[in-house]
Structure formats: C-alpha cells, structure tokens
Chain A
Amino acid sequence: MRKQTVGQRAWEFLVEKFIFVSGISAIIIVILIFLFLLKEGLGIFKTVGPLQFLGSTAWHPTSKPPDFGILALILGSLAVTVGAAILAVPFGVATAIYIAEVAPPRLRDWLKVIIELIAVIPSVVTGFIGMVVIAPFVAKLFNLQTGLTAFSASIMLALMATPTIVSIAEDAITSVPRSYKEAALALGATHWQAIYRVIVRAAAPGIFAAVMLGIGRVIGETMAVMMITGNSVRIPYTLLQPVRTLTATIAAEMGEAIRGSPHYAALFAIGIVLFVITFTVNFLADLLLHRAEARRQ
C-alpha cells in the first residue's frame, strides 16, 4: 500500500516535469529558430557588411563576384504588402463590422464558415489560381505584357489576409460591452451612428491588432507570392511591374545554393530579417490586444 503511494508520487513527479518541459517547448523552439538562423546566416557578413546587405539593390548571388544587396527585395515585399493592405483592410474591417453588428444570426454563422474556408486554401493553390486566372486578367485589364505583377499578387494576398483580419476584428467588436451600444441607442443614435461613433472606436485597438496580424501574414507569405509576382529583382516603381520578395527569394534559390556558400548564408540572413520583422509585428499586435483587454476590465 505504502509502496504504491511512493511509486505514484514518483510517477506524478515525472509526469509533472514532462508537462513543464512541454509547456516551455514553445520558448525553446523560438530560441532554437533564432539560433539556427544566426548560425547559418551571420556568415554572410564576412562577405558583405550589414549596411551593404540591407542597403544595396544589387542581388546577383551567382555572378562573379557576387552581389548580396536585398534592398530591392525588401521594397518588393513592401510593395505587395502595401497593395494587399489597401485592398484587405477596408474589405476585412467592413466584413467584420457586418458580421458582428448587422448580419442576422443564421447568416452570421454561414459567413463565418465561408471566411474560415479562405484560411484553409493552401497558399500554393491560391498561387496557382493567381497564375492561371488573375494574372492573365490583370494583363488584359491594364494591357501589360505579363500579368505576373505586384498588383496581381496583392489581390491574392489581400484575400489571404482577410480571414485573419475579419476574425480578430470581429472578436474585438463583439467584445465591446453591450452597455456602450445601449447607451448610444438610448441617446437617440441610429444603429449605424452607434457603430461608427461608439463601438468601432471602443474596438479600435483590437481592430488595429487585427490589421497588423493580417499584414504580418502577408509579409511572410511565400508560395503564392513566388508564383504570381513574376520574380524579377527590381525596385518597384508601380504595382504593375514584376517584383521579387524576401520570402520568394529564399524559396526559389535555396534549392540551388551550395551548403556553406555565401549565397546559402545570404538566404539564411534574409530569414533573420523576416523573423525580426514578423516577431516585431506580432509582438506589437499582442501588446495592443492585451492592452485592450486590460482596459475593458
């Protein structure tokens, strides 16, 4: 009897230790990711200085001597991201408001399922549709030689960012206390006036976080971007030209880069840049959501 209890205690102790290690696994993984990116990527700074890496637009990783400047790639990522945000933010926020405040309950459930469906479509499928349907359409519309442009990619990326924006913004809107709305209505405001003067303002930090997380997704998106942007390394002057993004460069060139070469290190260094950008965006968005929650209580 007593022996069993000791065994049980030991078992309980082991299980709890295991649970604790699993619990902190997320932290360990984040640190590991960062360490491995640094380990493989920092070597590039033996070949080029950090300023030149970030500030030069010449990316010729396989010519002799090679050039490793990622400014054009950063600008390429920026171009598709801005394009996608211009489309996704108004549509996403409007849809969130419609679902949270206007739609009848039955329709609301259906709309949510349909919007979740977008998040489910694999990015390679989105990219494929962008290539065979959207790009030719854009080429025809603007009379271009190729429709594989930043703009075509922006359209598909906007669609991919929409579910993130809608679901988080909708959460923010529905968690505004009912009493706010009731007070506005009691003062004689119409439902719409209550929405845009009271509810949306109260939900603003959450909506802003939703937009940031949506944009974070766009910056990190790889396959669709690689398939639709046309992949030419140039500074984008308009959205109607082909561009190359940070993510697409890694995915497209890692296969041919020789392990341990400066090219290989440069691609990992691009990974560091992406990691830092998305970490910052997600951290700030979380801070906003946290603050919104704290303020409500």
Chain B
Amino acid sequence: MNAHRSEKIAFGLLFAATVVVVAAVLFILGVLIKNGIGAITWEFLTTAPRDGMRAGGIFPAIVGTFYLILGTVVFAVPLGIFAAIYLNEYAADNMLTRLIRLAIINLAGVPSVVYGLFGLGLFVIFLRFGTSILSGALTLSIMNLPIVITATREALSSVPQSFREVSLALGATKWQTIRHVVLPNAIPGILTGVILEVGRAGGETAPILFTVAAFSLPFLPHSIFDQCMALPTHLFAISTEVPNVSLSVRYGTALTLIGVVLFFNLFSIIIRMRLRRRRQW
C-alpha cells in the first residue's frame, strides 16, 4: 500500500518536471510568436535596415544567412560524408579509429566562441581570406562537421550487411559497392543530418562574430570575399549594441531567425519519420 502511494507521488513528480520543461519551450516559442508576428511584413523581409538599424527591414541579413548556409553545405557535407564512409566502411577497430571518435566527440563539445577564435586565426589571418563569407562558412563547416559525420554514419550502418555482400559477390569493388549500393540506400538518413546541420549553421552567432559579420551593411555582398550581415549577429547587434531599437523589430528579427531554423528542422523530422515508415528491411 505504502509502496504504491510512493510510486504515485514519484510518478507525479516526474510528470511535473516534464511539464515544467515542456512549458518552458512552449512559453519561449509563444512569446516570440505573439510579439514578433506583428513586425513581420513583406517590407520587413525584403528591404534593408534604415535609421541606424532602428527601422526598415532585415533583407541583407536574410541573404547573408542564406549564403553562409550554402557555403557550409558546400564544405561540410562532402567532407563529413567521406569521413563517415571511412569510419563505417573502412576503419578497423583500432587505436586510430578510437582517436577519430574521440576527436569527433571533442569537436562537438568545443565552445562556439573557440571556433570563432580558430576561424579568425586560421582563415581570416593565416590564410588571408579576411573577414568574409568564405572565412565564416569554413568556420561554420568545421563546427558542424560532427553532426554530418554522426548522422551519415548512422545512416550507413543501418544499411544491412547483406546488401554489401551481394554486391561484392557480383564482383563489384569495395568503392563500387559503396557508391552504387550503400550510399543510395543511406541517402534519406544522410539528408536528415545535412538538414540538421543547415539549421544549426543558420542560427550560430559566436563563430561568425569575428569571421564574417558586418555590423550594418545596407547593400548585398558581391563575392565570397565580402563581409555580410547575418540574422543571428543582426539580432545580437540590435539587442545590445544599438540603443533604442523598438522591441517589435527585435522580436520580428528573432522570430524570423527561429522560423528559418525551425523550417529546416521540421523538414528533417518529417523526412526521418517517412523514412522509418517506408523502410522494408
């Protein structure tokens, strides 16, 4: 009897803790939507900031974020996929593989601002790319490499071993097997990782603070060696550095940013769900 009562109390507490966490998320999203939705107009999304960023829109920041995302995909995705192929298809269970694993885990844990320092030291200064879209995209790529590797590896390892054996038995080489049998079957899973990475790259601030960010740049960048604005750094600037920006402009920017990030994530969740349903093996 007593044991059952304490079980009830315990489960009640566990449930309450879960409710608090869920409520906190919904509260944040709710606050953003309620206060931000009014600011989002066609003009807000398609014009440049005016009045020292206190009025006008956020178009250059949206474009900048788009370029950075694109750059990150170009660099991180091929490298991440090949790294995952090595780990899943080639690597033996030895010291080197353990070291790679440790390196990936460590990369995933390095603070974002340290990536910013690294990008500044390597790309901006040492390789002389300057404060530019290129430097920022490379920095974000390195930061997001672990996500692509981990997701791709998971996707590759879920392709049944028998698929590989059949292909090898038919006389295909190892690379042919990977290229024509393993990869096509892993694509949806890889895509999930790529999209997750895109969402994260779009929302990062600290790594691009000293590698790309232009405080205010009312025109659009012309090449990958130009600086650009980005949504997260813009939100940071109008929240802390520029005084007297109306709350609604700030909420509008925050809502746009989270809209972009959520869009990519929901997309990836949907793909993953479909994939689970469709898988036949």
Residues of A within 8 A of B (CB): 8, 11-12, 15-16, 18-20, 22-27, 29-30, 32-33, 36-37, 39-40, 90-92, 94-95, 97-99, 102-103, 111, 113-118, 120-129, 131-133, 159, 162, 166, 189-193, 195-196, 213, 216-217, 219-223, 226-227, 247, 250-251, 254-255, 259, 267-268, 271, 274-275, 278-279, 281-283, 286
Contact = CB atoms under 8 A, between A and B. Distances in A.
Which of B21, B203, B205, B250 has the largest number of chain A CB atoms within 10 A? B21
Q: Is the interface of A mostly helix, strand, loop or mixed?
A: helix
A37 B118 contact: yes
A125 B18 contact: no
A135 to B, nearest CB: 12
Interface stretch (B38-46, B54-62, B99-107, B181-189): B99-107
Nearest to B11: A102
Contacts, number: 265
Contacts of A190: 3-4, 6-7
B69 interface: no
A106 B157 CA distance: 27
A235 B237 CA distance: 27
Interface residues of B, number: 87
B104 A37 contact: no
Interface of B: 3-4, 6-7, 10-11, 13-15, 17-18, 20-22, 24-26, 28-29, 31-32, 79, 82-83, 85-87, 89-91, 96, 99-118, 120-122, 125-126, 142, 145-146, 149, 173-175, 199-200, 202-206, 209-210, 232-233, 235-236, 239-240, 247, 250, 254, 257-258, 261-262, 265, 269
Q: Is the interface of B mostly helix, strand, loop or mixed?
A: helix
A189 B82 CA distance: 50
A235 B10 CA distance: 39
Contacts of A111: 18, 22
